[in-house]
Amino acid sequence: MDDVLRTSIAAALGAAPVALAAVSGGDVAAAYRADLDDGRRVFVKTHDDPPPSFFTTEATGLRWLRDVGSVLVPEVLAVSDDPPFLALEWIDEGRPGPGTEADLGRGLAELHLAGAPAFGREDRRTTGSRGLPNEPCETWAEFYATQRLLPLARLARDGRALPDAAIADLERVAARLGDLGGPVEPPARLHGD
């Protein structure tokens, strides 16, 4: 982590990082456990060349999930797109108990049932490194076809990762998702990437 980033994090948090340890698990951003000079420990994500609004979009999504209160979502402590970083509350790893999985399942169900205004995002931002569209749609089938399946198929075609016949198959599936997708469900609140 360079000095500009350390200085920006210190200014945003009111305390400077004194020790950093790399944290594994992601594949898009670099992640660290940062011990601050005021005794706090925080989680920090950085990125050398993020897409526009990369971390502010993620912070908005995390706050939206946290608002429900049904599962533990780290608090956003600071966010910046220049220099790019996201600082979150550090949550210590725990040991699962006898009811952990059931509690998590109930919490996720409650989170999803908290709902969303539409499939997609009102601000049309996308989370992650792929610049996929995120226009609000009325049904899951419409959203998944127009905002995920077809854009990813086009990326695969343009990158010569899939032959034209496979792309044509995906286009046929996309056209039938409304019939194939099962009963209509309301939009759910979930993480965007």
Residues 45, 83: one domain? yes
Residues 11, 67: one domain? yes
Q: What separation, in Å, do the N-terminal and C-terminal C-alpha atoms of the chain show?
A: 25
Residues 84, 123: one domain? no
Domain boundary among 26, 54, 89: 89
Domain that holds residue 127: 116-180
Residues 146, 68: one domain? no
Domain boundary among 89, 105, 124: 89
Q: Is residue 71 part of a domain?
A: yes
Q: Which amino acid is at 33?
A: R
Q: Provide CB contacts within 8 A for 175, sequence distance 6+.
A: 145
CATH number of domain containing 25: 3.30.200.20
Residues 13, 64: one domain? yes
> Along the 193 residues of the chain, how does pLDDT read in single tens digits?
889 999 999 999 999 999 999 998 777 899 999 999 999 999 999 999 888 888 998 999 999 999 999 999 999 999 999 999 999 999 999 999 999 999 999 999 999 999 999 998 877 767 666 778 888 999 999 999 999 999 999 999 999 999 999 999 999 999 999 999 889 999 999 876 5
Q: Which two tokens stand for residue 148?
A: 């995920």
Q: Is residue 97 part of a domain?
A: no
Domain boundary among 38, 72, 89: 89
What is this structure's pTM? Answer: 0.86
Containing 102, the helix (H) or strand (E) segment is helix 100-113
pLDDT at 127: 61
Q: Is residue 46 part of a domain?
A: yes
Cα dihedral 62→68→70→71 (10° resolution): 0
Q: Which two tokens stand for residue 150?
A: 């077809």
Residues 84, 17: one domain? yes
Residues 79, 139: one domain? no
* Cα 94 from chain centre: 22
Q: Is residue 124 part of a domain?
A: yes
Residues 17, 82: one domain? yes
Give the total number of structural domains in the chain.
2
